[in-house]
Amino acid sequence: MNRRVRKAVLPVAGLGTRVLPGAKTTPKNMLNVFDRPILSYVIEEGRAAGIEHFVFIVGRGQGAIEDYFDAAPEIENALEAKGKADILAEVRRDLPKPGQMSFVRQMAPLGLGHAVWCARDIIGDEPFAVMLPDMLMAAEPAALAQAVSAHDQVGGNIIVVEPAPEGEAHKYGIVDLESQTGRLNRMRGMVEKPAPGTEPSNLFISGRYVLQPEIFPLLEKQGKGAGGEIQLTDAMAELMKVQPFHALEYEGVTYDCGDKIGLLRANVAFALRHPSLGADARAAISGLL
Ligand code: G1P
């Protein structure tokens, strides 16, 4: 029986360069997608995958994230007094139980590998998930739940992948498969931001992982890789020498909210799927075309 995945690491410290100026005073993952922040969707996905503890790797000026996941008595009391139970429920929907979230300062922007390494003490000695919150994934079952099921099935390390748009593979981490049958395939390599034309496949690492804790000592020793940053992909490539890795081509749609057009697409897509406002959203959007 493979050990249960209970904790997820969410690296959120990035500057949000591609979504400035919106991300100047609001942490980029707190930007709204229709009626709630990006992180609200990511937490919902994590909970659907059985995650019980979320570890945020934050930077300076990101206190809004902690505040969002804390009680807000002045707002909640006012809504209660006015009898606005529906809005109150929305305000409270993402609240954890006390003790179910941790916030760790990354202290220096040294790369994704360094961000994940910052969670080592809180994760301890158990398998864990990594969720890159820029990437919103609309999927049923939830994208991370698909990865956790794959982990239940084959154990080891799971990387969620999907085909990169034509000509864009060099912007991502790319996996190399032993052979391809179905959606879950054993890997034989991976490379972070390969030079154009040298990509081993068109399957890119799209932002959900299940990793074994043996990644941490490797991250500690990991030197700088692509872009001069400590790359998670490089440490995973090291771990693959001693542990199996499978790539899971998940079923769903990814929206890159770290990009203005990706964020716009997510806004439209999640507005259209909204349980009570979807029809009004559709009418409003069609009226613009
Ligand atoms: C990171 C990862 C990369 C992955 C990408 C997905 O890169 O290092 O492997 O494909 O996220 O968005 P970044 O976008 O931080 O350059």
Q: What is the pLDDT of residue 14?
A: 86
**Which of 18, 106, 112, 174, when mutated, tests ligand 1's pocket best, judged by the most ligand atoms within 8 Å of its CB?**
112
Instruction: Name the phi and psi angles at 41, rounded to 5.
Output: -70, -40
Which ranges of the chain have pLDDT less than 70? Answer: 1
Q: What is the pLDDT of residue 60?
A: 93
Q: What is the pLDDT of residue 21?
A: 95
For 21-62, the pLDDT digits (tens) are 999 999 999 999 999 999 999 999 999 999 999 999 999 999
CA distances from 208 to 77, 185, 218, 285 (A): 37, 16, 19, 31
Q: Is 135 in the pocket of ligand 1 (CB under 6 A)?
A: yes
> In this structure, which residue's CA is closest to atom 14 in ligand 1?
172
Domains of the chain: 7-286 (3.90.550.10)
pTM of model > 0.85: yes
Q: What is the pLDDT of residue 1?
A: 66
What DSSP string runs through 9-35?
EEE-----GGGTTTTTTS-GGGSEETT
Q: What is the pLDDT of residue 162?
A: 97
Distance 172 CA to ligand 1 centre (A): 5
Task: Count, in order, helices (H) and strands (E) of the chain.
Answer: 11, 13
> In this structure, which residue's CA is closest to atom 5 in ligand 1?
172
Q: What is the pLDDT of residue 136?
A: 98
Distance 175 CA to ligand 1 centre (A): 12
Q: What is the pLDDT of residue 270?
A: 97
